Structure 1
């Protein structure tokens, strides 16, 4: 996949995500200009509004990370082990941050954390 193709996919995802976040902000009565604010500003506003546990927040932070990774030339590398993320995973989800092995380990650990805290 070329860098321009990846940028295009991320841009389309960002446009869609901004619309969803705008609706989320409106529902939660959060003052946010989702269409014009930077991703960092949106993340900050959602954090202050206590919406960090919302699935859209997770997508937003993963999108921001993917764009930064693309800009510095490390897009497609696992955030945990730094090996290449399988192309199939990136095709399914261009904002994926982990290879299959690390994703499995992360999910296992996260399930353990949930059991211990509930």
Structure 2
């Protein structure tokens, strides 16, 4: 997949997430110009509004990371082991941050953490 194709896919995803965010903010009676603010500002505003537990918040932070990685030439590299993320994973989810093995390890560790805190 070419860099321009990836950027286009991420831009389409960003537009959809911004629309979803507008709906979410309206439900919370928060007025923000979701089309003009940067992703970083939107993430900051969601944090301030105590909306960081929303699945949309996670998607926005993943999108911001993916765009930064693309700009740095690191898009498609696992954030844990730095190996290439499998193409099928990126095709299924262009925001993917981990290869299959590291994702499994992360999920296993996370489940372990949840068991320890409950």
TM beyond 0.5: yes
User: Structure 2 length normalisation: TM-score?
Assistant: 0.96
For residue 30 of structure 1, report the CA deviation from its aligned partner. 2.3
- Using the alignment, how far apart are the partners of 1:29 and 1:110 within structure 2? 33
What residue is the counterpart of 1:114 in the other structure? 114
How many residues are treated as equivalent by the alignment? 118
- Using the alignment, how far apart are the partners of 2:50 and 2:76 within structure 1? 30
- Using the alignment, how far apart are the partners of 1:110 and 1:32 within structure 2? 33
- Using the alignment, how far apart are the partners of 1:74 and 1:61 within structure 2? 16
What residue is the counterpart of 2:82 in the other structure? 82
For residue 23 of structure 1, report the CA deviation from its aligned partner. 0.8
- Using the alignment, how far apart are the partners of 2:19 and 2:77 within structure 1? 28
What residue is the counterpart of 2:45 in the other structure? 45
User: Structure 1 length normalisation: TM-score?
Assistant: 0.96
What are the Cα deviations for residues 41-100 of structure 1, in whole angstroms up to 9, with x where unaligned?
000000111111111011000000000000010000001111110000000000100000
- Using the alignment, how far apart are the partners of 2:52 and 2:5 within structure 1? 29
Unpaired runs of at least 5, structure 1: none
What RMSD in Å do the two structures reach over aligned CA positions? 0.9
For residue 29 of structure 1, report the CA deviation from its aligned partner. 2.0
For residue 111 of structure 1, report the CA deviation from its aligned partner. 1.4
- Say if 1:103 and 1:32 are closer, same or farther in 2 by CA, change over 3 A: same
What residue is the counterpart of 1:67 in the other structure? 67
Unpaired runs of at least 5, structure 2: none
- Using the alignment, how far apart are the partners of 1:11 and 1:93 within structure 2? 14
